[in-house]
């Protein structure tokens, strides 16, 4: 199996449908593992969209970290693509990510360029958060200062391929052996900062991550998490605090 694509669905059936429909891979042996986190609507009919779909049904919302770990445990692919249900693949993006990892063995992870619905570039990479650089980001008025924009990389237009340390986990391709060695997501971060924690783990173990601008994926930002309402903000702040404590930043 060349590739396992993991998609988590939570009351985003229409978006998930469009995401799956955009996956068109020829001459590549792959599987789609679709995890439904206790949605209020059935997604069984989505199996008709692609013969490679396997559905895991959870009775409740296990959130992002646990659901992805669950899917990885049954996956078979040499490469693992974590793909948000609110994404749409463009112009052979998956093949480009695969080609990159096939031909660049020194890299463990590759991330695509994310686009907004209007095809404008969506910033998707950051540095690791610290108290100073997060505070400085509040004063990043003109979005061109490397000093104030250190955390969010706001001075960078995301329109060149380069090494990075922290992409969004909305769409990332990872070598299977990396996950087998270091694990995927720490479930003490159910929704937020699990990816930041994972990428920090990669960083301290000298694993390289690449941003590939020629692989483009549309991201309809936050369509699932916004359904959580105020709970989303609570999980966000809780995740940030847990991250700072885990890594001894505070």
Q: What does the pLDDT look like over 151-178, one tens digit per residue?
A: 999 999 999 999 999 999 999 999 999 9
Of 156, 176, 206, the domain-final residue: 156
Where does a domain end: 110, 140, 156? 156
The parent domain of residue 174 ranges over: 3-122+158-246
212: region left, alpha or beta (phi > 0 left; psi from -120 to 50 alpha): beta
pLDDT of 130? 87
Distances (CA, A) of 8 to 18, 117, 169, 198: 14, 20, 12, 18
Q: Give yes or no: residues 30 and 150 share one domain.
A: no
pLDDT in tens, 45-83: 999 999 999 999 999 999 999 999 999 999 999 999 999
Q: What is the pTM for the complete model shown?
A: 0.94
């Amino acid at each position: 199996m060349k590739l396992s694509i993991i998609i988590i669905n939570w009351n985003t059936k229409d978006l998930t449908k469009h995401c799956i429909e955009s996956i068109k891979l020829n001459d590549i042996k792959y599987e789609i593992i679709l995890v439904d986190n206790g949605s209020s609507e059935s997604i069984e009919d989505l199996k008709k969209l692609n013969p490679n779909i396997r559905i895991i049904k959870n009775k409740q919302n296990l959130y992002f970290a646990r659901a992805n770990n669950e899917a990885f445990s049954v996956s078979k692919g040499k490469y693992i693509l974590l793909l948000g249900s609110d994404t749409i693949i463009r112009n052979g993006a998956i093949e480009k990510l695969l080609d990159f990892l096939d031909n660049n063995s020194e890299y463990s992870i590759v991330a695509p360029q994310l686009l907004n619905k209007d095809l404008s570039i969506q910033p998707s990479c950051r540095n690791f958060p610290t108290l100073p650089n997060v505070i400085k980001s509040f004063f990043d008025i003109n979005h061109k200062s490397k000093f104030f924009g250190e955390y969010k990389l706001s001075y960078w237009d995301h329109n060149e391929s380069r090494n990075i340390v922290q992409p969004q986990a909305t769409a990332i391709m990872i070598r299977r052996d990396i996950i087998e060695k270091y694990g995927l997501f720490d479930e003490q971060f159910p929704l937020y900062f699990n990816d930041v924690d994972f990428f920090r783990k990669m960083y301290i173990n000298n694993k390289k991550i690449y941003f590939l601008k020629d692989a483009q994926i549309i991201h309809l930002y936050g369509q699932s998490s916004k359904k959580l309402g105020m709970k989303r903000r609570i999980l966000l702040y809780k995740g940030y605090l847990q991250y700072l404590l885990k890594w001894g930043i505070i």
